Structure 1
């Protein structure tokens, strides 16, 4: 690290040497102690490590005796540089390594300083012993007090320099560790704040409250995340609100469709009943026309039987002829009515085709079938009116035939002379019979067409009933969706459009 490099750098060592006056003279005095230091360093370290092994707080840093021996060897080499007074880059690198190791393993400076004290005690004792004056004639000249002071001062300065550098590196490393711890504590606090803030917001969202926002002041590193979170929740709330409005509108539309389908089902059911009544009325008209044909046959037989009496009276015959002519006129009217019925049958067939087409689209455009059904009812009414007219004419023809029979009976003798004319009248009755048969055939076709329309109407009624059931199910589903969406709380008020105003047809 930068602080560590500065603490043990060359320029900083030079500054320390200069401040404590560990100059060349002091280095020279220190070098004079090298023989003693080289000799006594190992015993001093032995005493030191013996104390280390007895102290639990320091013994825990060494796993074995081999570990201690490796550490002792490294210290011997390091003290050799100190004894040489060689405080160069190599020495600074070793001191930096020692301080970093002490910081890494957690060796507090008090144990380091205590170790220097023990080593200094041993070394100073041995130096004093070596240079202390001895008695005797051949004893070596005693070292002066100045020289002794200079040697011991240089040793103490070297030891303090080494101790200062190692402890400085240790303190710098400890400061970095403390800074890291503070940073980690700050980060942990920020993470806790962010976690709690987002946790509260997410809890509200999980409860369906989409108005939850990150309002607390977040650390700078998390401000953008908070903004993105608020924007995402706002968009989600807007989407949920739109879906809720759409679901509510679908629910209203489904209710209208269900009401319309129910109305259509009822009207289709009524239409089927009306067609059944119309079919019954047409069938009754058909039976009446058949009875008319039978009556015409009987009248023809009567005319043939009266042929023998036709000669009685010309006036009676004339009267009979007039009566028959009136019958013929009535028959012509009947023919026209039959034409009307035939036309009605044709138009009814066309309307039945249109009704089939409209029935195919009954689920989407049910009103079209109502128009066709109205036309069918109108045509059915016309058929009923025509049938009534036919009944009136037939009744009138019957009265005329009765008058003719009475007249023919009165002039039976006279009709003998106009046998040929009676034959012609018989031919007229044959035409009437044929026309009546055609009427019966036409009415039978109308009856068949109405029966087909009734069958189609019944099928339409079944389809409308299915559509009604589907629309009711759609209403229930849309209501459930709307209820689920209402569980979410949003900041915007959902506005649902008003119904389209479907009105039940009369």
Structure 2
């Protein structure tokens, strides 16, 4: 009598090699003898199967987690009919090709629809418990004193063998379920890996050319086209970042252009200001030299006027003394002949004084011409001095003539001496006026010299400030030139970027 393993392996289409059915049969101890024991209660099992399946599918219809696997009542009825035939094969202990195909199909179906083993095992427990109850009720009378149709020991042996067969079916089905799930998961993982790789290549291509463009300083591109939902925020953020960067660089580009133009204007103005400052410094320097020269001239003029003042005082004293002598000569006319020689000397002195006075007046006029407006008073004074000198010279000549003719005009000498006395008085008065004017000139030239020293000091301060301004202008010009160069460098760097409009 063939064993179960012989019956199964004899088929052209055995179970998967991974199931290793002989080892399972050996472990369960399910031999052909035990299959015969199962077949002994086969009629009773077949009779009990419909009721057990009705109870089971009622539970399935009430359980939401199992109900979802059936699209309709008809679908559930078809499954129940298939289960009926399947359990009959178990009751007949027929583990041939049809059983193997059914186990394979059931295991793959459970894996495909995602039916967890707990529902399959639970369903077998419900069905098997009701089958055992029904078979027991058929073989063991409810009346205690009636003998059972099958001895209880044999009934227990039949149930034990049936349990082995059922658990063999459960074991094989779940094993195929696990193998099919692994294979399906492997295929899904392969599909997932393939999808991930395709998505990676797509994303790399979508973002890669943008990144390469950014590396080449090209900001005119953006990520376009449809992308997976996960990458949409990244696309929007990158496009927004590129647009913001373009806007910023455009603003910087415009600003650098404005700065460049402004720097050129400032640099041009600074150069022009430097030229003007240099000219101004040269003008101030010339002015300072001229004022210094004028100051020296006025100081020298003041010294000469002071000397002239002393000289005029001496002349005044001498003239007064001369007047006294004239007066004495008038009183002592008779001694004029004896004093002719002395008078001749006096007239020589007067002539020399007139000559010196005339020379002094000439020098005074020259200095007054040099002094310009400041020497206008001096010029008038010089004219007066020359007139006075001429008059003194004329008087001296007259005195000489009087002396030469004194012998013939002794009688008229008194009258002439009176006229001479009046002339000397006039001279003394004029010399006093000259002295007064010279004192005023001395005071004015002193004040002018002091004022010119202050002006010279102020011009020196202006000259120093002008030189410092010139140095600051040069520094400003250098700074603006450097800024313009840096701005042009920045514009050149910005020009290497390709920006969006």
What is the DSSP-based 3-state SS (H/G/I as helix, E as strand, rest coil) of the residue aligned with 1:411?
helix
Correspondent of 1:18 among 67, 72, 84: 84
Q: Structure 1 residues 88, 304: closer, same or farther in 2, change over 3 A?
A: closer
> 1:408 maps to what in 2?
392
Correspondent of 1:417 among 413, 425, 439: 425
What is the DSSP-based 3-state SS (H/G/I as helix, E as strand, rest coil) of the residue aligned with 1:213?
coil
Confirm whether residue 89 of structure 1 aligns to residue 97 of structure 2: no
Structure 1: runs of 5+ lacking an equivalent: 34-86, 94-153, 313-319, 335-384, 493-506
Confirm whether residue 228 of structure 1 aligns to residue 212 of structure 2: no
What is the DSSP-based 3-state SS (H/G/I as helix, E as strand, rest coil) of the residue aligned with 1:475?
helix
Preserved contact between residue 308 and residue 416 of structure 1 (Cα < 8 Å): yes
State the Cα distance separating 1:194 from its structure 2 match. Answer: 0.4
> 1:126 maps to what in 2?
none
What is the DSSP-based 3-state SS (H/G/I as helix, E as strand, rest coil) of the residue aligned with 1:248?
helix
Confirm whether residue 491 of structure 1 aligns to residue 482 of structure 2: no
Instruction: Please report the RMSD computed on the Cα atoms of aligned residues, expressed in angstroms.
Output: 4.4
Q: What do residues 85-141 of structure 1 show as CA deviations (whole Å, max 9, x unaligned)?
A: xx9639789xxxxxxxxxxxxxxxxxxxxxxxxxxxxxxxxxxxxxxxxxxxxxxxx
What is the DSSP-based 3-state SS (H/G/I as helix, E as strand, rest coil) of the residue aligned with 2:210?
helix
> 1:283 maps to what in 2?
292
Matches within 5 A, 1:319-468: 388-391=372-375, 394-395=378-379, 397-411=381-395, 413=420, 415-418=423-426, 419=428, 422-468=431-477
Matches within 5 A, 1:89-488: 89=122, 163=172, 166-300=175-309, 301-302=311-312, 304-305=314-315, 308=319, 388-391=372-375, 394-395=378-379, 397-411=381-395, 413=420, 415-418=423-426, 419=428, 422-488=431-497
State the Cα distance separating 1:424 from its structure 2 match. Answer: 4.1
Q: Structure 1 residues 242, 90: closer, same or farther in 2, change over 3 A?
A: same
Preserved contact between residue 263 and residue 481 of structure 2 (Cα < 8 Å): yes
State the Cα distance separating 1:407 from its structure 2 match. Answer: 2.4
The CA distance in 2 between the partners of 1:426 and 1:159, in whole Å, is: 160
State the Cα distance separating 1:169 from its structure 2 match. Answer: 4.4
TM-score, normalising length from structure 1?
Answer: 0.52
Structure 2: runs of 5+ lacking an equivalent: 1-64, 71-75, 96-119, 127-162, 327-353, 397-419
Q: What do residues 439-486 of structure 1 show as CA deviations (whole Å, max 9, x unaligned)?
A: 111111111111111111111111211111111111111111121122
The CA distance in 2 between the partners of 1:180 and 1:18, in whole Å, is: 37
State the Cα distance separating 1:203 from its structure 2 match. Answer: 0.9
State the Cα distance separating 1:253 from its structure 2 match. Answer: 0.9
Q: What do residues 153-186 of structure 1 show as CA deviations (whole Å, max 9, x unaligned)?
A: x999997786455334432442233223212311
> 2:27 maps to what in 1?
none
Preserved contact between residue 251 and residue 475 of structure 1 (Cα < 8 Å): yes
The CA distance in 2 between the partners of 1:303 and 1:405, in whole Å, is: 15
Q: Structure 1 residues 429, 285: closer, same or farther in 2, change over 3 A?
A: same
The CA distance in 2 between the partners of 1:181 and 1:390, in whole Å, is: 116
The CA distance in 1 between the partners of 2:166 and 2:299, in whole Å, is: 151
Preserved contact between residue 121 and residue 170 of structure 2 (Cα < 8 Å): no
Q: Structure 1 residues 393, 279: closer, same or farther in 2, change over 3 A?
A: farther
State the Cα distance separating 1:423 from its structure 2 match. Answer: 2.7
State the Cα distance separating 1:11 from its structure 2 match. Answer: 11
Preserved contact between residue 298 and residue 448 of structure 2 (Cα < 8 Å): yes
What is the DSSP-based 3-state SS (H/G/I as helix, E as strand, rest coil) of the residue aligned with 1:217?
coil
> 1:371 maps to what in 2?
none
> 1:109 maps to what in 2?
none
Preserved contact between residue 197 and residue 214 of structure 1 (Cα < 8 Å): yes
What is the DSSP-based 3-state SS (H/G/I as helix, E as strand, rest coil) of the residue aligned with 1:22?
helix
What is the DSSP-based 3-state SS (H/G/I as helix, E as strand, rest coil) of the residue aligned with 2:221?
coil
The CA distance in 2 between the partners of 1:186 and 1:175, in whole Å, is: 16
Q: Structure 1 residues 231, 15: closer, same or farther in 2, change over 3 A?
A: farther
Preserved contact between residue 276 and residue 454 of structure 1 (Cα < 8 Å): yes
Q: What do residues 371-396 of structure 1 show as CA deviations (whole Å, max 9, x unaligned)?
A: xxxxxxxxxxxxxx996322565455
Q: Structure 1 residues 15, 183: closer, same or farther in 2, change over 3 A?
A: farther
Preserved contact between residue 304 and residue 426 of structure 1 (Cα < 8 Å): no
